[in-house]
Each structure stands twice: as structure tokens, then as C-alpha cells.
Structure 1
Amino acid sequence: MEPLEPSVTGATLLIVEDEVLVAMTLKSELEDAGFHVLDLTDRPGEALAAAQACKPALALVNIELHGRDDGIPLAREFKAMDIPVLFISGQISQARSAQSVAVGSLPKPYHPAHMVMAVNYLLRHLEGDESLPRPQGLEVFAENAAEMEPDEA
């Protein structure tokens, strides 16, 4: 994995995930890569409060929280706050149907290194830097998605 560019190292991220082990592993991997991760949460209300207190550069949101589709309405709230959302979910069809409220999705299960690359890619892309190839498994929901490089297998 290539090192992160200084433009995104230290960016603040919010993880909304109800699987504790997944959330803790993800937080550890992202912090090791140089990102700042807010406290983990699995509740939409807590996630909104955290986002209002410290606007993250990107929110990583699981669509199904405790067996309910709470992630999609939460993503709508984040979009209203100008916080980009990356869906992390096994519910790919739901992620695609809600693409108007997210910048992309990465399906579960994923390798933690792929998540780090996806976050780095999205943050750089949001800054207008399209120099990185799109990481494996990342689906980008953007008007210019057709112009972006295809996944490399």
C-alpha cells in the first residue's frame, strides 16, 4: 500500500457501525494510516451529535444498524450537513438505491487495507485530485463516475 498524501492524513472520520469488532478493527487501521477517528457509534442520534460537534471529512456508515435500515436516513442527515458518506455494507442493492445521499460504497466483507485505500481515494477525489486509481471493490456514486478509472482486479 502506498503512503497517504499529506492532504488527507489527519482527516477526521466518523464510523457508524453496529458490529463492534468490525468497528474497532476499522478504527485501528484508519488511525494507523494517519486518520483521526471520532468515537465509534452504532446509534444515529449519537452519530449526528458527534458530526455536529466536530464535522468529519467523511462518515463511514453501515446501512443496517441493529437489523434496521437506519444508515440511509442517517446518510440523508449527513448530506444536509455537507458531510460525505461512504456506505460500508453487505447491502449493495440498498446502497445503490440510496446513491443520491452517499459518495460511494464498499461491500462487506472488505480487507481493512482496502478500506484505508478507499477512504484516501475518496478524500483526495473530493478535493479534486483524481490521480489515484480507484481501489478494488469501491463503487463511486458521482456524476463523473463514468470518467473515473475502472476497478483493477
Structure 2
Amino acid sequence: MLEAVPPLSGCRVLVVEDEYLIASEVKRWLHSAGAEVIGPVPRADLALDLIAEQTPDAAVLDVNLGDGNSVYPVAERLGVLGVPYLFATGDVRVTGAPAQASRPILEKPFVAAELVRAVTRLVAAA
């Protein structure tokens, strides 16, 4: 009998999330779907360093990273590189550049199936 190929097999997914428990779960869920997770990292500067080392296939970005910091510089860089991304946030108002406002939003709290489905759509559309 043939084994099913995980939906994100071979995909490199950047995760930027400042809440440790959420980051751990997102990483675990993406791994279970076959993805190679880059990160997770809690700050935009760390994410930008990772992007400089290797370009991901997709990204899951928390908007608010604590202490008044946001993920928008990362989103801007990913947009320049043509990397699809979504915002995974409890704050459904995306206030970045107009191009960012049109990106998919996965509203917290979400479950594994919602995350995997959303990232799979991102990768398929790219």
C-alpha cells in the first residue's frame, strides 16, 4: 500500500511568533505536515537574518511581536523576494502597507488543520 505524501513535504516555512507555546505548536503542526520549519523566531531582526541565509517557500507571521514591534519589515522583505506569506494573528486589523492588507489572515486561536490548509494554499498558489 502506498503511503500518502504529507501536504507540505519538502516546503521550507518560516515561522515568526513571539509566544513560545504558540510557536512550538505551529512548528509541530507544520512538521507533521511534512514542512521544514525555519525558526520559529520571536523578532523581526532574527527573521530577516534567517531570510538572508535561506529563502523560505512560505511564511507564517504573527503581526504583533511584543514591545510595540511588528513583523511588517519581514513581510516587506518576503514580498520583494516573491515569497507567499500569511498573517497568523489575534489582531485581525493588518495596518502595514496596502499590499500587506490583502494577504491571507489566519485568526488566532486556530487549530492544526486550519494552519496546514492555509499554508498548503499559499504554496499551491505560488
TM-score, shorter chain, exceeding 0.5? yes
2:38 corresponding residue in structure 1: 38
Distance 1:40 1:85, change over 3 A: same
Deviates more, 1:102-111 or 1:54-63: 102-111
Instruction: Indicate if the aligned counterparts of 2:12 and 2:58 stay in contact, CA closer than 8 A.
Output: yes
- Report the CA distance between 1:81 and its aligned residue: 2.5
Distance 1:98 1:107, change over 3 A: farther
Alignment of 1:110-129 (within 5 A): 110-126=110-126
Instruction: Indicate if the aligned counterparts of 2:84 and 2:122 stay in contact, CA closer than 8 A.
Output: no
Q: Which secondary structure state, in structure 2, belongs to the residue aligned with residue 13 of structure 1? A: strand
TM-score by length of 2: 0.85
- Identity of paired residues, percent? 28
- Opposite residue 105 of structure 1, the aligned amino acid is I
Backbone CA RMSD of aligned residues: 2.1
Distance 1:82 1:112, change over 3 A: same
2:77 corresponding residue in structure 1: 77
Q: Could you list the runs of 5+ residues in structure 1 that have no partner in the other structure? A: 127-153
- Report the CA distance between 1:67 and its aligned residue: 4.3
1:103 lines up with 2:90 in the alignment: no
Distance 2:83 2:106 in 1: 17
- Opposite residue 100 of structure 1, the aligned amino acid is A
Q: Could you list the runs of 5+ residues in structure 2 that have no partner in the other structure? A: none
- Opposite residue 61 of structure 2, the aligned amino acid is V
- Report the CA distance between 1:36 and its aligned residue: 0.6
Q: Which secondary structure state, in structure 1, belongs to the residue aligned with residue 93 of structure 2? A: helix
- Report the CA distance between 1:73 and its aligned residue: 2.9
Distance 1:60 1:103 in 2: 11
Structure 1 segments, 4+ long, off by >3 Å, are 2-5
Instruction: Indicate if the aligned counterparts of 1:48 and 1:78 stay in contact, CA closer than 8 A.
Output: no
Distance 1:46 1:66, change over 3 A: same
